[in-house]
């Protein structure tokens, strides 16, 4: 729920991955890959329902809608929580020489206390580390 005139606290969590940006983008933009790396959101199978991905998450059933495929490395995704609130998660894959940088913006929702916000940041940090390890192990 957006409140006029109120800016949410944002923290940019980043990692560098020694794999081409296009390869990383393709992997991250594929919703069925989420359980492999985004444990903060999903460790279970995803189900496509009416054009959105439904996931059983630690928060209950959430629905994830991804930005359309694009050439700019934008993998923003909206997560609809069981409460009905929708959280927009900006996610970018940016070329960096032969590899890339991945930046995920964690926003503090109005109902979050500092401990919850810190836990969210820690979860995203772990997810990006998992993503980097997974993709660098694949090589090629």
Contact 113, 6 (CB under 8 A): no
Please state the rounded mean pLDDT for residues 51-72.
86
Please state the rounded mean pLDDT for residues 95-110.
95
pLDDT tier for residue 2 given thresholds of 50, 70 and 90:
low
Q: What percent of the chain has pLDDT over 70?
A: 92
28 pLDDT more than 70: yes
Q: What percent of the chain has pLDDT over 90?
A: 56
pLDDT tier for residue 140 given thresholds of 50, 70 and 90:
low
- pTM for the full model? 0.87
Which residues neighbour 139 within 8 Å (Cβ) at sequence distance 6 or greater? none
Separation between Cα atoms, residue 25 and residue 79, nearest integer Å: 19
83 pLDDT more than 60: yes
Please state the rounded mean pLDDT for residues 68-92.
92
Quote the pLDDT of residue 35. 84
Quote the pLDDT of residue 91. 97
Separation between Cα atoms, residue 123 and residue 47, nearest integer Å: 23
DSSP symbol at 72? S
Which residues neighbour 58 within 8 Å (Cβ) at sequence distance 6 or greater? none
């Amino acid at each position: 729920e957006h409140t006029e005139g109120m800016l949410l606290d944002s923290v940019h969590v980043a990692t560098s991955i020694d794999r081409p940006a296009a390869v990383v983008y393709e992997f991250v933009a594929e919703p069925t890959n989420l359980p492999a790396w985004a444990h903060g959101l999903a460790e279970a199978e995803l189900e496509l329902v009416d054009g959105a991905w439904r996931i059983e998450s630690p928060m209950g059933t959430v629905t994830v809608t991804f930005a359309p495929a694009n050439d700019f490395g934008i993998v923003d995704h909206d997560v609809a929580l069981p409460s009905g609130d929708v959280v927009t998660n900006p996610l970018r894959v940016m070329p960096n020489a032969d590899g890339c940088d991945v930046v995920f913006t964690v926003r503090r929702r109005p109902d979050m206390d500092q401990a919850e916000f810190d836990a969210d940041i820690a979860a995203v940090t772990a997810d990006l580390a998992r993503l980097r390890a997974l993709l660098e192990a694949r090589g090629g």
